[in-house]
Chains A and B, each alone.
Chain A
Amino acid sequence: MKEFFLLIALLTIFQFSQAQNFKYGKVSKDELEQKAHPDYPEAEAAILYRELRSKVDYHKEDGWIMYTEVHERIKLYNEKGYEWATRELILKNSSTSDREQLSSLKGSTYVLKNGKVEEFKLKKDGIFEESVSKFRDITKFTMPSISGGCIIEYTYKIRSPFIASMEPYRFQESIPVNKVNLRFEAPEYFNYQIHQRGWIPFKIVNEQISRSTTEHFTSQHNTGVGGTYNRAGATKTTYQANISTVELNKVPPLKEETYAGNIDNYAAALHYELTFVRWESGSVQEFSTNWESVCKQIYKDEDFGNQLDRSNYFKDDLDDLLVGAKDDTDKLQRIYGFVTNKMNWNKYVGYYSDEDVISAYKQGIGNSADINLMLTAMFRYAGFNANPVLISTVSNGIPLLPSLSGFNYVVAGVETPEDIILFDGTNKLGQEDVLYDFLLNWQGRIVREDGSSEWVPLQSHSPSSTARMIDYKLSDNGWITGTVKNQRNGSSALKQRTQFVDLSPIDAALSMDNVYPNVEIEEMEFENLEIPQQPLKQNYKFKSDGYVENINGDLYVAPLVFFAMEENPFKLDERKFPIDLNEASKDRFIVRIDIPEGYKVTSLPESVNIKLGENFMSYKYLISEKGGTLQLMSEFNVNKFLFGPDMYKDIKEFFQFIVDKEKERVVISKI
C-alpha cells in the first residue's frame, strides 16, 4: 500500500507571487478588465483570493471555541461561472445545544461600467437561512447584479464549539485558485495533527507567540467530539499559541477522471485533527496521535467496545442456532446467515452504535456498527477470535494521517492463524470475504480487545470471477440461437444478485434487454440467487439476427457476438490520477458455435495470449475449428488492480487490443 501514498504525492511545484491588493473591498480595475484567466483561458471562474483564518480562543461561558474568518474574491468570466455566485454554508449542530454560528456575512459584486468600478452590496434579500434538520443548518447567499467578467467578494465568520475535528481547509477547486492563505492558531495545550492532501505540495510555516487570558475557570467542557474535559486554572494565564500558516499560489483546477475513485482524495487540502490536550496541570487528554491510538480511542468509547462485551441478549438464540454445528466453518456460516437474515441495515454508516446493540437486535434494525459489532460479539461468543475492522468508505476518501474521522464504517473480522476473513452483516446477499464495492477503499484496520490494531487488506482472497459457456447455432439466414450458462463468484456474483434478487423471471429477462438491446432472451433462470455461499448460476436462451453479416453469400461473425468488449472504457488521452480497478478479477468465455450445413470456415482470427507488465493483466483468445464446430476460449484476468498514472497508456492500449481482437470476424463460406 506504500505505493499508493507515492502515487498521490506526485510532485509539481507552483510558487509565484503577485503584487495585488487583497484587502476586502479593494477590487482593482485591472482585475475587472481581465477577460480570461491567464493560465487557464477556458476557466469559467477563478478564485482570485481565498483567506482562511482560524483561532481557538477561550470564551468564559462556552469554553474553548474555534473562530474562523473566511474571505473570498472570485472572478466570474462567463455565465457558466455564475454558479459560483451562489454559496452554501453548512453549520453543524450536535445533539446537545452545541451549534455553529455564522456572523458578519457581507459581500459585494463589482462590475466595470464605462470604465468605472461599480459596487453592488449583498443585502438581506439575498441571504437565506434554512434549518435542514436537527443536525445542520444551511445559510445560502446569492450575489446581486452578476454579469460576465464581474468579481464577487464576501467575508464571514463562523464560531464553532467543535474544536477537535473540523472540515478540511480546501485549497483546490474545479476552477483555478490564484492565491490562498491559511492561518491557524491554537493555544499550546491543543496538539493538532495535520493531514496534508492532494498532489500539489505546500509548505506549512509554524511559529509561536505569547497570549494571555484573564478568566477564572474551573468547569467541565465539551471537547466537541463527545466527552468532556476538566479545566482548572488561575485568574490570569499566559500561554504560548501555535500558529501555522500556508500560502499557495496558482493552484490548477481539479478535473474528474474515470476509474479514479473519489476525486476529493486528490484535492489540495489541509485537515487539522486534535490529537491530545495537555493542560497546565499536566493532565493529558488524548484524542488521536497515530492509528494505534485512534483505534484505542474508538475501542474505549461506550458505543463501540462496550457493545462487543454484551452477549446476554443473543445468548439463548445463539445456543439454539449452534446446536449440531459440524465445524467452525459451519458455525461461522450459521451465525453470519442468522445476522444477515435477522438484521436490517438502515443505510446509515458509522462505527459507533446508534442506539445500542440490544435495542437494534430487538427491532431487527441498525446502522453498520450496530449490526457488525453484534456480529463480532456473536463470533466471539461462539469461540472465534473475532474483532471489528474499521473502514473508510469510498465517499469518505482516503485519510493520509490518523484521525477519528478517517474511518466511517466497521465490519467483523475473524482471525485464524493464517488469515483474517471479513464479514459484513449489513449485506443480506453478502458472503464471507466479499465486501460491497463502496467499502473497497484503501485498507481496513482490525482492532483487538487488548487495544492493539493493525492494517488488513479489504479485497477478497480470491478474484471475482465470471465463467460463461455459450453454445449457439448459426443459420445461413443470419440468425444465431443458443444458450448461455454463467457462473459467478465473489463480487461479480454479489453485483448480479443485487440486480436480480427481487425481480420476477419475466422482469429479469426484460432487464437484460437494456444490456443487449437486439437480443431476445428467454427462459432465464438462476440457481443460488439467494444463497450467497454458493456460486451464482444464470442460464438462458437467446436468439438474434443482429450479429451475422451476410455479404455476397459469405457469413461474417465475431464469435463472442454480443459479449464482445465493444468500447474501450479509457477515453482520455492522458491522466494524472491513479487507476483503481477495485479488485482482481477473472472473466472467462467458452464458446461453441455450430456452423450451418454446406458451409465451411474460410478464415479464422489468430489466437493470442498476451500479458501486461509482470502479469498485471492477461488476455487469452484461443480459437479453433473442427468438423463444423468452432471453439473459442477467451480469458481476461486482472491480477493487479491499482496502477499509477504512468501505466495509463499501456492499460488503455491493452484494453484497445482486446476490443480490436473481439471484433475480428470469422468468415464462413459455402462449400
Chain B
Amino acid sequence: MRILKFLFILLMVPVYGQEHYDINNIPEPLRTNVNAIIRDHDINIALNDVNNMTVSYHIVVTVLNKRGLEAIQPAVGYDANSSVQSVSARVYDARGKEIRKYKKKDFSDVSATGANLYSDNRMMVLDFTPSIYPFTFEFETITKTNSTAFIPRWLPIAFTSVSVESSSYILRNPRRIPLNSKIYNLDAANIEISETGTEFRYSLKNQLPVKKEDYGPYFTEIVPFVKIAPQQFTLAGTRAEVRSWKDFGYWQQQKLLNGRGELSESTIGRISALVSGINDPKEKARAIYEFMQSKTRYISVQIGIGGWQPTFASEVDELGYGDCKGLTNYTQALLKSQGIESYYTIVDSGPGGQDIDEDFVALQGDHVILTVPFEDENVFLECTSQQLPFNFLGTHTDDRKVLMVTPEGGVMTRTHRYSPEDNKIELKANVTLQESLKLSGTLTQRSSGIQYSYRYDLENETSDDVKNRYKRYWSHLNNLDLADISFSNDKKEVEFTESLWFETEGYVSMAGSRILLNPNIFQRIEDIPSKAANRTQPLVIRRGFTETDSITLLLPSNYVLESVFEPISITTKFGTYRSSVNIVNEATIEYKREFILNTGRYPKEDFNTYADFIKDVVRSDRSKIVFVQK
C-alpha cells in the first residue's frame, strides 16, 4: 500500500516545479546574510459583501538554515464565523524539485486557546520537520468568513534576517464598500501602489533583510505595512457602519455595551452603603475600585461575539470573575450606580507602548481599561488587577493613545506618562564591614512610579520566596543572609518601601595586605548596550528613571583607609551620573550615587555615544576604595 502511494505522489509532480523554485534563481544579494528568503507571497482578498470575505494566502519560502524556520508558519486559524476552505503545503529541494506534499488531512486541527482559560478559536497546523537544508516550502490556504471587521493587513517584511523576493497584496471590493486604508513607513521600501474604487493593490520586490537592533523602535515602526478596514462591516453577526471615531464609539456603545450594566438592587445597596459618608467623588471612585478588586479575579473566556462584548455586569457580580471587558464594564456599572460617569476605554497593551492609531478608524487594541473623568485629571483604572493602586498603570498600558467609548461616540485620549522623576528608586543603607570582612547592615528602599510596579508584589510572596527574590536581585552578593524584612505599601501615594537587615560574605577583594571595596554595594547595571558599527535605527529609551543611593559605611577597627576615589560626574543628553565618597571620620565613610536616565528618542548617530555613557556609568559603578591592615 505504501509503495503504491509513493508512486502516485511521483506522478503528481508538476513539470514546471523542476526549476521554478531552484534556489539558484534567487538574486545573489537576497541570499547573503539571511536565514530565509520569501520567494513569493500573495494575499488575495475578495471582500464580496459586508458579511462575506474570502482570503487566499499563498507563500513560498526558501529556508537556508534552522534559524530561517520561523519564516514558515504552516498554520491557519478559524473560529465559529470562519472556515478553512483549503489548506496544503509542498516541499521542494534546492533544485526546485518537489519532494513532499501535504494535504488538508495531514494538518492537525487543534485549539488556539493561548493564554485564555477558554477561547473558541481553533487552527489547522502542520507538524513539519525539514529533512534537508536548504529547502523551499510552499503553503496555501483559502479561508471564508462572515466577519469582515478584520481585513488581513499586508506586512511584507515580517521577520528579521529574511529577505523578500516578491510580495503582493490584492483586495477586491466589487461592491465598493467604503474602506479606510493606511500605508505605514512607505519610505522604508520600494512599494508599488494602486488604489481604485474596486481594487487595492500593493507589491514589493527584492527587499533586503531588516536586522533587529537593540534599544530600537518597535518593528512596526520601521517596516512598511498596510492596514485596511471597511467602514461597513460585520463582526460575529453584528453589523456596523463607522466613518469616524465618533461613529465607532457610538457603535460600540449601542451594540456591544448597551444594556450590559444592570446591577441587582442588593449590590447597589451595598455600594451605596460603602460610599456613604464619602463626599469627594474621587474618593468614592477609589472605594468602589478597591471593592471591585477585593471581589473579583481575572478569568479570560472568549466565545463568539464575547470576544468583543463584555459579559453582563450582573453576571460578573454573581460569579466574581471576568475578563478585561467584563471587569471594566462591571466597575463602570458600580460607579454609575453612585452617579459617577466613566468610559470603557480601548487600549493596545504591552510594555512596547503602541498607540491606538488616530488616523485609522477601525477595531484596534487588545485590552480595555476604565477612564473616570474628573475636573483635574482623567483617572485610569486597570480592572483586571486585584493589586494595583487606584489610578496607577504599569508598563502594560502607560503613556499611549487610547480610545474612550463615551455616550457621544469615541474620543481619543492619552494615558499617564511616568517621567524619570516619577520612576524613582531611593536606597539608604547603614553598613558595617566586620573584622571577619563580612558586610552587614540595614537598608530601606523606596520605589515609586514604574519602579513601584516592579517591586510591590514582593508583599504577596512567602518569606522564602522573598528571600530568594533578593538573592536573585542582588545575585552579586554571595552567601546573602537576610532578616527583619518588612514592607510598606502606600497605595495612595503609590510608594513601596522595603526595609531589611542583611549580611554578605566575600564582598571585598583581597590584594595582599590591602582590601578593595566597592562602596556601590547594591546597584549593578545588567543591560549594557554593545557599540554598533552600522546603526540604522533610532535609539529609544521608553521609560527613564532615577536611582539614588546613600550608604554609610563603618570600617573595621583593625584597618585604616588608604584611598578613596575622586567624585565622579557625567552629564550627557541621555542622563546624568554622580557618585562620591565622603570621609566622615577615620572609620566612617559616606557613599552617594545618583543615576538619572532620561526618557527619549534619539537619532541613530547617537547610539554609540549612548553606549559609551552606559559603559562609563558601569565603570564608575565599580570604583573602589582601598584600606590596609593597621
Interface residues of A (CB under 8 A from B): 42-44, 78-80, 82, 85-86, 120, 125-126, 128, 130-134, 140, 142, 144-148, 255, 344-347, 359, 362-365, 502, 504, 510, 513, 517-518, 520, 545-546, 549, 551-552, 556, 558, 566-568, 571-573, 602-605, 652, 656, 659-660, 663-667
Which residue of A145, A255, A520 has the most chain B CB atoms within 10 A of its CB atom? A145
**Contacting pair B131 A363 (CB below 8 A):** yes
Number of residues of chain B lying within 8 A (CB) of chain A: 69
In the complex, A137 Cα to B481 Cα: how many Å?
A: 47
B256: interface (CB < 8 Å):
no
Kindly specify which of B42-50, B106-114, B197-205 makes contact with the partner chain. B106-114
**Contacting pair B460 A79 (CB below 8 A):** yes
**Contacting pair A130 B132 (CB below 8 A):** no
B218: interface (CB < 8 Å):
no
B336: interface (CB < 8 Å):
no
Q: Which of A132, A147, A659 contacts B506 (CB 8 A)?
A: A659
Q: Which of B472, B478, B512, B531 contacts A656 (CB 8 A)?
A: B478
Interface residues of B (CB under 8 A from A): 2, 6, 33, 35, 65-67, 100, 108-111, 113, 117-118, 127, 129-132, 294-295, 297, 299, 301, 315, 318-321, 386-387, 460-464, 468, 471-472, 475-476, 478-481, 505-506, 509-514, 516, 526, 528, 530-531, 562-563, 565, 615, 618-619, 622-624, 626
Q: Which of B319, B475, B478, B505 contacts A125 (CB 8 A)?
A: B319
In the complex, A306 Cα to B130 Cα: how many Å?
A: 26
Q: Which residue of chain A has the shortest Cβ distance to B615 in the bound complex?
A: A518
**Contacting pair A667 B512 (CB below 8 A):** yes
**Contacting pair B113 A603 (CB below 8 A):** no
Residues in A with CB closer than 8 Å to B479 are 568, 652, 656
**Contacting pair A663 B509 (CB below 8 A):** yes
Residues in A with CB closer than 8 Å to B315 are 125
**Contacting pair B131 A126 (CB below 8 A):** no
Residues in B with CB closer than 8 Å to A602 are 512
Q: Which residue of chain A has the shortest Cβ distance to B625 in the bound complex?
A: A551
Q: Which residue of chain A has the shortest Cβ distance to B461 in the bound complex?
A: A80
Residues in B with CB closer than 8 Å to A551 are 516, 563, 565, 624, 626
Q: Which of B131, B462, B506, B626 contacts A660 (CB 8 A)?
A: B506
Q: Which of B67, B478, B565 contacts A568 (CB 8 A)?
A: B478
In the complex, A345 Cα to B130 Cα: how many Å?
A: 9
In the complex, A621 Cα to B194 Cα: how many Å?
A: 72
**Contacting pair B301 A566 (CB below 8 A):** no
**Contacting pair A664 B117 (CB below 8 A):** no
Residues in A with CB closer than 8 Å to B130 are 344
**Contacting pair A556 B319 (CB below 8 A):** no
Residues in B with CB closer than 8 Å to A665 are 509-511, 516
Which residue of B67, B117, B618 has the most chain A CB atoms within 10 A of its CB atom? B117
**Contacting pair A504 B33 (CB below 8 A):** yes
**Contacting pair B462 A364 (CB below 8 A):** no
**Contacting pair A546 B619 (CB below 8 A):** yes
**Contacting pair A549 B624 (CB below 8 A):** yes
In the complex, A130 Cα to B120 Cα: how many Å?
A: 8
8 pairs, A vs B, C-beta closer than 8 Å? A42-B464, A132-B110, A346-B127, A359-B2, A545-B619, A552-B626, A665-B516, A667-B514
Leading 8 A-B pairs by shortest Cβ distance = A603-B512, A364-B131, A665-B511, A128-B118, A42-B462, A346-B129, A517-B528, A145-B320
**Contacting pair A131 B478 (CB below 8 A):** no
Residues in A with CB closer than 8 Å to B513 are 603
Q: Which residue of chain A has the shortest Cβ distance to B510 in the bound complex?
A: A664
**Contacting pair A518 B618 (CB below 8 A):** yes
**Contacting pair B299 A86 (CB below 8 A):** yes
B310 CB to nearest A CB, Å:
14
Q: Which residue of chain A has the shortest Cβ distance to B530 in the bound complex?
A: A513
**Contacting pair B117 A128 (CB below 8 A):** yes
**Contacting pair B622 A549 (CB below 8 A):** yes
A236 CB to nearest B CB, Å:
45
B79 CB to nearest A CB, Å:
13
Residues in B with CB closer than 8 Å to A130 are 111, 113, 118
**Contacting pair A79 B387 (CB below 8 A):** yes
A295 CB to nearest B CB, Å:
29
**Contacting pair B294 A147 (CB below 8 A):** yes
**Contacting pair A664 B321 (CB below 8 A):** no
B475 CB to nearest A CB, Å:
6
**Contacting pair A556 B511 (CB below 8 A):** yes
In the complex, A652 Cα to B479 Cα: how many Å?
A: 9
**Contacting pair A365 B618 (CB below 8 A):** no
A639 CB to nearest B CB, Å:
24
Q: Which of A134, A146, A347, A359 contacts B129 (CB 8 A)?
A: A347
Known contacts A140-B117, A504-B33, A549-B516; A128 and B478 CB within 8 A of each other:
no
Which residue of B319, B476, B511, B513 has the most chain A CB atoms within 10 A of its CB atom? B511
**Contacting pair B108 A517 (CB below 8 A):** no
In the complex, A568 Cα to B219 Cα: how many Å?
A: 38
Known contacts A255-B464, A666-B511; A344 and B301 CB within 8 A of each other:
no
B195 CB to nearest A CB, Å:
40
Q: Which residue of chain B has the shortest Cβ distance to A345 in the bound complex?
A: B129
**Contacting pair B510 A546 (CB below 8 A):** no
B296 CB to nearest A CB, Å:
8
Q: Which residue of chain B has the shortest Cβ distance to A553 in the bound complex?
A: B563
Can you name 10 extra interface pairs (CB under 8 A) apart from A344-B130, A517-B618, A551-B624?
A: A78-B460, A82-B297, A120-B318, A134-B108, A144-B318, A145-B319, A571-B468, A664-B510, A664-B511, A665-B516
In the complex, A652 Cα to B33 Cα: how many Å?
A: 45
Residues in A with CB closer than 8 Å to B516 are 549, 551, 556, 665
Residues in B with CB closer than 8 Å to A605 are 510
